Structure 1
Amino acid sequence: MSAAVTPFPSLLGVFAHPDDESLVAGGVLAQHAAAGARTGVVTATWAPDSHRAAELGEALRVLGAGRPRMLGYADARIPESAPGGPRFLDVPLDEAVGRLVGHLRDFRPDIVVTHDAYGQLTGHPDHVHTHRATLLAVHAAGLEHHYPEAGGPWQPRALYLATHPRSGVGELGPLLAGVGKRVRSVPDDHVTAVVDVRPWLERKWAAVLAHRSEVERARSLPGILSRLPAATRQRIMAAEYFTRLDTRPGGGPGRRRLARLEA
């Protein structure tokens, strides 16, 4: 008798900017979508009618992650990303959390993926703020008396923080330092899931390239990666690292090398 195959869990990513989804979780998004799981992405910044929203739509199509779900706030460093609108950093936290709860209850994911507490390697303030708001929203989404106007309660099984262990920074560290960016990584034992995304690397890279305006910038990570030899770029992008936070009662797992993210 053959063993039953466990279906891949549905996955909702919550990220600060268009392109974050492709860079830090493009492999697992493509992996889950290819296995038939529902996948989606919420993006905190940039207006839905901006050029970067169009690029995001193309990237999500490549990854199989559905339509853009954009909060539409302004990037902390680019006011024209949402003309006349507030920066994501400046809106009341309760407002941002409530809107994220609405997306969580609408999509009803098994697992959620977002930035770690450092805001990834470079610590962009929008990344850090997205981490904070998502952490609160994942817990609030399961409580019926929080944000009742956002729909019926839904509790994701786990929250995964996209991160980089110190041993996994590798060639990326000097590249970022070379354009004046400080590198932030976590101790290796903070990482509880390492996913080998080489089978989906072609799709992941195509999604990054969809963010054409970022590829053209010299100091952006898509731009840096685009100038590398293919073999170097593939080494940098071949693994995705996560710290799992359980959202239901019970102890979490220790560090394990996984073939995929588990609910």
Structure 2
Amino acid sequence: MTNPDTPPSLLGVFAHPDDESLLAGGVLARHAGAGARTGVVTATWTPGSRRIPELADALAVLGAGEPRLLGYADARNPASAPDGAERLVDAPLDEAIGRLVAHIREFRPDIVLAHDCVGQLTGHPDHRRAHQITLLAVEAAPVAALYPESGEPWRPAALYAATHSASGAGPLGDLLRTVGKDVIAVPDTQVTTTVDAGPWTAVKWRAILAHRGEVAATRPLPGLLARLPRTEREAIIRLEQFTRLTPGPVPADPYRLTR
């Protein structure tokens, strides 16, 4: 039975290393700090690629355990799969769903966190594909007849998509436009939960910094954030927005995701 004094367990499913820290680092740090189980499944970059040790360091900062990998390649980076793995966007849908169902059934989360349908930030095709796979895997995980080889059925209580609203993405959009990018935002009405991650921004920032290759580069968001004054950076990373994608009442407490 879940301890009512402990926040529900979270399993994040994100496309790339650093998505977990940028999009939900505050929520993950908050839940882990309160004693909840937290974990992250990363869809692209495979064992032996340069970003997996960085991912492991970021997850250690957030208290989210060891990397859990689907084992696919990034759509835009061949170096993501030195073992020659298939790109996530090219992988058979049924196969990818089965791999994620296995992680959900093994971890048994109360809440799953995912990308939104527009592939927030820049609309990366891996973000959109990861969103599709997560929706279908959450639906399949409690059905015993589906993927019986992937463990005992489990039904998460809720599924949330990390997102950016039109009004909430202002400073972030301005930052990304400096390198020719835009935030693909959703209408404000689609945001059901806004988290002020202020108390956990220091932990979140350490997790972002663990992605050293992205911090050192000029165009990725970690590198852009690293070159900002601290006050401007914290104003951007403290806001985390989510859309609840499963039926039921919307949580009233803006500081945590609940069942």
Contact 2:29–2:203 (Cα < 8 Å) also in 1: yes
Alignment of 1:94-243 (within 5 A): 94-243=94-243
Contact 1:10–1:39 (Cα < 8 Å) also in 2: yes
What is the TM-score of this pair, normalised by structure 1?
A: 0.94
| Aligned mates of 1:67, 1:44 — CA distance in 2 | 14
Secondary structure of the structure 2 residue equivalent to 1:32: helix
Task: Tell me the residue number matched to 1:54.
Answer: 53
The one-letter amino acid paired with 1:17 is H
Contact 2:172–2:183 (Cα < 8 Å) also in 1: no
Contact 1:55–1:212 (Cα < 8 Å) also in 2: yes
Alignment of 1:235-254 (within 5 A): 235-246=235-246, 251-254=247-250
Secondary structure of the structure 1 residue equivalent to 2:244: strand
Secondary structure of the structure 2 residue equivalent to 1:258: coil
The one-letter amino acid paired with 2:68 is R
Task: Tell me the residue number matched to 1:259.
Answer: 255
Secondary structure of the structure 2 residue equivalent to 1:129: helix
Secondary structure of the structure 2 residue equivalent to 1:171: helix
Correspondence 1:41 to 2:40:
yes
Range with bigger deviation, 4-13 or 221-230: 4-13
Task: Tell me the residue number matched to 1:67.
Answer: 66
- How far is the alpha carbon of 1:255 from its aligned partner? 7.8
RMSD of the alignment, in Å? 1.3
The one-letter amino acid paired with 1:261 is L
The one-letter amino acid paired with 2:190 is H
Range with bigger deviation, 232-241 or 177-186: 177-186
The one-letter amino acid paired with 1:60 is L
Secondary structure of the structure 2 residue equivalent to 1:168: coil
| Aligned mates of 2:186, 2:22 — CA distance in 1 | 18
Contact 2:114–2:134 (Cα < 8 Å) also in 1: yes
| Aligned mates of 1:128, 1:191 — CA distance in 2 | 18
Q: Deviations over 1:104-161 (max 9, x none)?
A: 0000000000100011121000000000000000000011101010011000000000
- How far is the alpha carbon of 1:252 from its aligned partner? 2.8
User: Where do 4+ consecutive residues of structure 1 move more than 6 Å?
Assistant: none
| Unmatched runs of 5 consecutive residues or more in structure 1 | none
Contact 1:119–1:125 (Cα < 8 Å) also in 2: yes
Contact 2:163–2:242 (Cα < 8 Å) also in 1: yes
Contact 1:245–1:252 (Cα < 8 Å) also in 2: no
Secondary structure of the structure 1 residue equivalent to 2:31: helix
Contact 1:191–1:255 (Cα < 8 Å) also in 2: no
Contact 1:194–1:257 (Cα < 8 Å) also in 2: no
| Aligned mates of 1:147, 1:115 — CA distance in 2 | 23
Q: Aligned residues: percent identity? A: 62
Q: Deviations over 1:141-184 (max 9, x none)?
A: 01110101001100000000000111101211121112111321
The one-letter amino acid paired with 2:14 is F
Range with bigger deviation, 8-17 or 79-88: 79-88
- How far is the alpha carbon of 1:48 from its aligned partner? 1.4
Aligned residues: 256
